[in-house]
Structure 1
Amino acid sequence: MKIFPKLWSNKTKDHNLFIKIKGLLGYMPKNKNVYIAAFTHRSMNIKNLDGKPQNFERLEYLGDSVLSTIVASFLFEVLPNADEGKLTRMKSKIVSREKLNFIGKQMGLLDLLVFSGKKDNLGDDVYGNLLEALIGAIFIDKGYETCKSILKEIFFKPYIEIKTLDKEVISYKSLLIEWSQKQKQNLVFETEADNGKDPSVNFYCKILVNNKVVTKSRDLSKKKAEEKAAKKAHRILKI
């Protein structure tokens, strides 16, 4: 049984999708249905001829695992003297949500998504999700070795700089907490729901050091509000 049977789809839209994918990847997809699924949002409620839901979520799961393996292999090859700890830290930075979101946005993947509603409401994580779904589609269509070669050209070469990667910060919140522990400073994150006028901003975070307010930030989620505030505090405190 095929993993991705024939879909009910619009031939004109599909053709445009394949042309854009060819521009991104350098080849015309062979298993076209898997790429259609990779850029279909669950809100479309599309089903294949077997009656099963067809969207990018399963491919996102697969792509996440494939990318993790390929990144681990890549680092193992390019950093022959790195120990397990450094390899793990470097891998975490490459596959971080922020990094994947950035790459997915730079690749323009949201333009390919079929979505029922305003794409502006999807949030930044959709870029990384689509990138993982695309990787899952490449893996199914081309196999592991070819997928690895393609990612070398469209992922590693343009977006991953090993020489500067070690200096990149994954989480300013973690960095701030580590600093406060080393310096024996009393650090407090006060985060609560924000019921302000802007419906897109749901959380408010205030950071205090030794009972003094250092900075404040608002954002869509608790995690993002805290990370934004921590980044500002990192700059203000000159850590």
Structure 2
Amino acid sequence: MNFLRKIVRPKTKEDEDFYYDLKDLLNFKPVVLNHYKKAFTHRSLKMTDKTGKPINYERLEFLGDAILGSVIASYLYKESPKGDEGYLTQMRSKVVSRENLNKLGKDLDLIRFVRSNVSRDQVGDNIHGNIFEALVGAIYLDRGYNYCHQFIYDQVITPYVDIERLEGKISSYKGLIIEWCQKTKKKYNFESYEDTGNQTKKHFSVRITIDGQKIAKGRSTSKKKAEEMAAKRVYFTFQNQITNS
């Protein structure tokens, strides 16, 4: 990549506003605005380029996810010299969890840049984390790895990464319950089924049994959320046993 190229000045008032908003957000001058426009384009617009390839943030999200993971992994490797592979993997998962990424996107108010044909209520919470990752991907294409590294350090590591706090945070209640059951030789079962009822939006319920006894139930708009909800209830039911096992 040639980073000595001249900055492409915005040609329209809309592009000029976007340019200066980005500059304030990134703390550096963006070069190719189209990378960033793509990072904030929702698939609902059904935009394509001259060759028919879709123009939206999803491929940039994939790229940004990989770069974000590598920067966090490097930081944890240096800051936790005694941590083994399992520890480092778990800590990285906590930092880049969907919950954290959504919070990052919300704190930066990235949704203000998004171009979409659907309302904000319809796109769901995960769009905040998705476009944060897409933004990282756009930075990489525009200015390279070093700029990504600095942006992630300023926006993620410095304000959010507290290793001691993260060590005590549970990233997956389902994983914790399964690990505890396997460790203590308990038989467990996660039973899921559609439970929409009178609501138009699809819902799922998950029932957890341990050693044949129904312990908890969770209900939400996705199977994964329902599992976490039910598993969290199991955790608080057996918290002392789990903590001391």
Unaligned runs of 5+ in 2: 1-10
Judged with a 3 Å threshold, the aligned counterparts in structure 2 of structure 1 residues 203 and 86 are, in CA distance, closer, same or farther, namely: same
Q: How does 1:11-90 map to 2 (within 5 A)?
A: 11-48=12-49, 52-90=53-91
Cα shift at 1:201: 4.4
Match of 1:213 in 2: 214
Unaligned runs of 5+ in 1: 1-9
Judged with a 3 Å threshold, the aligned counterparts in structure 2 of structure 1 residues 235 and 39 are, in CA distance, closer, same or farther, namely: same
Separation of aligned partners in 1, 2:185 and 2:116? 49
Match of 1:180 in 2: 181
48-57 vs 32-41, which moves further: 48-57
* TM-score computed with the length of structure 1 as normaliser: 0.86
18-27 vs 151-160, which moves further: 18-27
Separation of aligned partners in 1, 2:230 and 2:14? 42
Cα shift at 1:209: 2.5
Q: How does 1:127-166 map to 2 (within 5 A)?
A: 127-166=128-167
Query: Aligned Cα RMSD in Å?
Result: 2.3
35-44 vs 214-223, which moves further: 214-223
* TM-score computed with the length of structure 2 as normaliser: 0.84
Tell me, yes or no, if the aligned pair for 1:217 and 1:228 is still in contact at 8 Å.
yes
* Per-residue Cα deviation, 1:123-156 (whole angstroms, up to 9, x for no partner): 2322221111000011112211121012111111
Q: Which amino acid aligns with 2:38?
A: A
Tell me, yes or no, if the aligned pair for 1:190 and 1:206 is still in contact at 8 Å.
yes
Cα shift at 1:16: 4.1
Tell me, yes or no, if the aligned pair for 2:95 and 2:161 is still in contact at 8 Å.
yes
Separation of aligned partners in 1, 2:59 and 2:97? 19
Tell me, yes or no, if the aligned pair for 2:194 and 2:202 is still in contact at 8 Å.
no
Cα shift at 1:59: 0.7
Separation of aligned partners in 2, 1:213 and 1:85? 31
Identity among equivalent pairs (%): 41
Q: Which amino acid aligns with 2:81?
A: P
Find out whether 1:196 has 2:197 as its counterpart.
Answer: yes
